[in-house]
Amino acid sequence: MTDSSVRNAQKLYEGKAKIIYATDDPEILVTYFKDDATAFNAQKKGQIANKGAINCKVTTHLYGLLTEKGVETHLIETTSDREMRVKRVDIVPLEVVVRNIAAGSLCKQTGIALGTRLEESLVEFYYKNDDLGDPLLTRDRIAAMKLTSPDMLDQLTEKAQTVNAVLTEFFARCGITLVDFKLEFGTDKDGTLLLADEISPDTCRLWNAAEPDEKKRVMDKDRFRQDLGDVAAGYQAVLDRILSQMS
């Protein structure tokens, strides 16, 4: 049972990794981080011990760092091990993926070798639509679908690049290579664009910089996707390194 269900809060939405609850204030929601893990559009399902608590803490710390650097997020306050109070936002229906090093679908779709450092980081937009399998979009397709404006795409790109610069530098200090990651954004009641959702080992590829072995270096959800074992230990190691760097 979750902290929020004890309070009989109204569940608004249950996703693959989080539950969203209503609060007395319509502009404030509660996000509850679950241990459930899915991959390949939920074809693979499992649990990662303590993942919810780890991802809640990792997101809290990274959001704090980004806020200090001028990137606004939806986080108001982290209220328990697995819960945060967040501003209600209208989510932009795009997953914004930033890539520094080739991995995952980029390798599959282009043939670029795993681990190739990209001369320029890529910022890509995927359609948030499980029924369609979150397809990669182009600016022209986004316009044709009337998903959002070119100006919004420019803002998303600029914010994603700022997040990349801040997180790449921070993770490097943790001895971790930020390979790629996914962001989500939303607009609040005043129309301000805020970073939303989470930033965690579920949504980033993170490699132990000191480990040359292709499998051993993985500290993120690829341990689950690829059945590499020690999934929870990878997540915990990311949190431990973040905490020791922040203190």
Quick check: 16 binds ligand ASP (CB under 6 A)? yes
Q: Where are the beta strands (DSSP E) in 74-175?
A: 75-80, 83-87, 90-91, 94-101, 117-127
Quick check: 168 binds ligand TMP (CB under 6 A)? no
Exposure class string for 213-243: b at 16+ Cβ within 10 A, else e: eeeebbbbbbbbbeeeeebbebbbbbbebbe
Q: Which of 97, 142, 153, 218 binds ligand TMP (CB under 6 A)?
A: 97
Nearer residue to ligand TMP within complex by CB, 83 or 198: 198
**Is the CB of residue 194 less than 8 Å from the CB of residue 187?**
yes
Supply the minimum distance, in Å, between the C-beta of residue 194 and ligand TMP. Answer: 18
Quick check: 104 binds ligand TMP (CB under 6 A)? yes
51 Cβ contact list (under 8 Å, min separation 6): 17, 33, 34, 35, 37, 202, 232, 235
212 Cβ contact list (under 8 Å, min separation 6): none
Quick check: 105 binds ligand ASP (CB under 6 A)? no
Supply the minimum distance, in Å, between the C-beta of residue 108 and ligand ASP. Answer: 12
176 contact choice in ligand ASP, ligand TMP, none (CB below 5 to 8 Å, kind-dependent) = none
* Positions that interact with ligand TMP (CB under 6 A): 97, 103-106, 134, 180-182, 203-205
* Positions that interact with ligand ASP (CB under 6 A): 16, 38-42, 221, 225
